[in-house]
Amino acid sequence: MAKAVFTAAGGANFIGASAYILKLGSKNLSIDWGQGVSQNSPDGPQYDGHLDYLLISHGHTDHVGLLPAALRRWPHLKIFATKETKEIAKTVWHQTIHRYRDKNHFDSNRAPALAPFTENEALFAEKAIIVINPGEILELGGEIKITPIPAGHILGAVSFRIDFEGETYFFSGDTCFHESFFVPGAPLYSLDRCRLLVRESVYLNEDFEDRQKIIEDFQQAAAGVLDRGGQLLVPALSIHRTQEMYAIAVTAGLGPVYVDGSRGATKIYQQYAPRCGEILENIPRFSSHHERTRLIRSEEPAIIIASSGMVYENTLSAIWAENLLFREKCAIFTVNYQDPCGQGFVLNNSRKGQYIPFNGGIIQRLCEIRHFPLSAHMDKTDGQEMEERLNPDVVVYTHGEDKQIEKYIKANPATANRKKIKAELGKEIEL
């Protein structure tokens, strides 16, 4: 039997429901246990085996969203995460339960939709998490050693170095090497050699422009919308991207800037982000739908940063977009990855004057729409350089679009010293 076996239980050649199983001797550990976030991904991880340990890379829903449900199956599972990830996860679980309550309230004529876990299960999960610190070695049973390494993606995000019987296995998680407003970039970590590198593949074939230039272009374009008397919607991921976009706007003197959603994550950034200062204090918000309606009807120039970043149907950002799409003076600027199944993708690929499907109806798009790629992932060059620094025998590509992974491997084929494999759901890779 192989000494080590890797299996993608989720987050394979798609984005969502991340869960990566590594069998080391008699022990099984998973990196992440996420919820599905798009039509391309299953609702959650697909795994029927045993788990001894669960390592959480960061607090996004697609990486930590179903952890309470995992404990229902394995109540003695040992779970590890940074203190920031633990706090963010608590917020994510609360939002999940709240979202199902809202769904049942507004769809009262349908059978109730059950949340994937209860409040008590979320509380149990919170208490079960053992806090780990980047750079500190964690020794598990069976001679397994874990070293968390800052990943730069969001607050508290880490990669994992796993050592077992003389071999090293490296899981990148979602990694960002450039510095963002509140989070330093990931360090340029190196190894003489590792047996396995499991890496994210969101932007596997793309190189980013200079980040500072993108920020300046965004600020200039946003100022243009305000100057012509328009309202600007910035759909943003509630964790990290909302806080960063708010800081980018207000430090440039733009405003007024409102934030709709992301209260819990913003409080965590205020508490734990060392560069936060007073920037995130006293953020203008909306206490009711009436206040949102008043601003929309006033047509007063303003910037509204709202979740979700992918403009999924009937989210806060989708509600705002529905009210701005047909207004020529207004604009929608997307700033993060867009799920091909999401409404943000539809917006970015639409033409002015075109009628598009949106929130269950049809709306003519007359507003300005632009995309500013302020990603918190690594790009093509960053990923290639990471592979060279870690020098793996085997690279497994995960957390990316199927066709993009195939395109990359075809253009950058395996060599005699390095296998390159596209992860597939449930497929075992012996090491």
Q: Strand ranges (DSSP E) for 275-317?
A: 302-306
For 42-76, write each residue's pLDDT tens digit.
899 999 999 999 999 999 999 999 999 999 999 99
Do 333 and 380 lie in one domain? The reply is no
Per-residue CA distances from 66 to 90, 98, 277, 424 (Å) = 11, 15, 32, 20
For 374-429, write each residue's pLDDT tens digit.
999 999 999 999 999 999 999 999 999 999 999 999 999 999 999 999 999 999 99
Q: Does position 112 have pLDDT exceeding 70, yes or no? A: no
pLDDT band at 201 (very low <50, low <70, confident <90, very high): very high
Q: Which of 324, 354, 371 is the last residue of a domain?
A: 371
Its pTM stands at 0.93
pLDDT at 365: 97
pLDDT band at 105 (very low <50, low <70, confident <90, very high): very low
Amino acid at the residue 162: I
Do 336 and 364 lie in one domain? The reply is yes
Do 196 and 67 lie in one domain? The reply is yes
Domain count, the chain: 2
Per-residue CA distances from 153 to 59, 186, 345 (Å) = 10, 8, 22
Hey, CA dihedral for 329, 330, 336, 340, is it positive or negative?
negative
pLDDT band at 2 (very low <50, low <70, confident <90, very high): low
Task: Write down the mean pLDDT value for the chain.
Answer: 94
Beta-carbon contacts of 372 under 8 Å, excluding residues fewer than 6 positions away, are 214, 217, 218, 221, 333, 334, 335
- Specify the DSSP element, H or E, that contains 265: helix 263-272
Query: How far apart, in whole angstroms, are the C-alpha atoms of residue 272 and residue 155?
Result: 8
Do 221 and 202 lie in one domain? The reply is no
**DSSP type of residue 384:** H
Per-residue CA distances from 166 to 4, 28, 55, 143, 390 (Å) = 12, 18, 21, 10, 16
* % of the chain exceeding 90 in pLDDT: 88
Return the CATH number at 164. Answer: 3.60.15.10
Query: How far apart, in whole angstroms, are the C-alpha atoms of residue 51 and residue 53?
Result: 6
pLDDT at 40: 76
Q: Which of 346, 371, 396 is the last residue of a domain?
A: 371
Do 161 and 257 lie in one domain? The reply is no
Do 302 and 420 lie in one domain? The reply is no
- Written as one string, the DSSP assignment of 207-234 is -PPPHHHHHHHHHHHHHHHHHTT-EEEE
Beta-carbon contacts of 60 under 8 Å, excluding residues fewer than 6 positions away, are 34, 92, 154, 174, 237, 239
pLDDT at 110: 57
For 294-330, write each residue's pLDDT tens digit.
999 999 999 999 998 999 998 999 999 999 999 999 9
Q: What is the CB-side half-sphere exposure of residue 323 using CA atoms within 13 A?
A: 20
Q: Helix crossing, 83-106 with 119-128: angle to 10°?
A: 170
Do 391 and 310 lie in one domain? The reply is no
Return the CATH number at 283. Answer: 3.40.50.10890
Q: Which residue do the tokens 């990486």 mark?
A: 63
Q: Does position 278 have pLDDT exceeding 90, yes or no? A: no
pLDDT at 360: 93
* Tokens of residue 29, six digits: 């550990």
> Which range of residues forms the domain containing residue 252?
211-371
Q: What is the CB-side half-sphere exposure of residue 341 using CA atoms within 13 A?
A: 10
Q: Which of 343, 371, 399 is the last residue of a domain?
A: 371
Of residues 39 and 2, more confidently modeled: 39
Do 273 and 404 lie in one domain? The reply is no
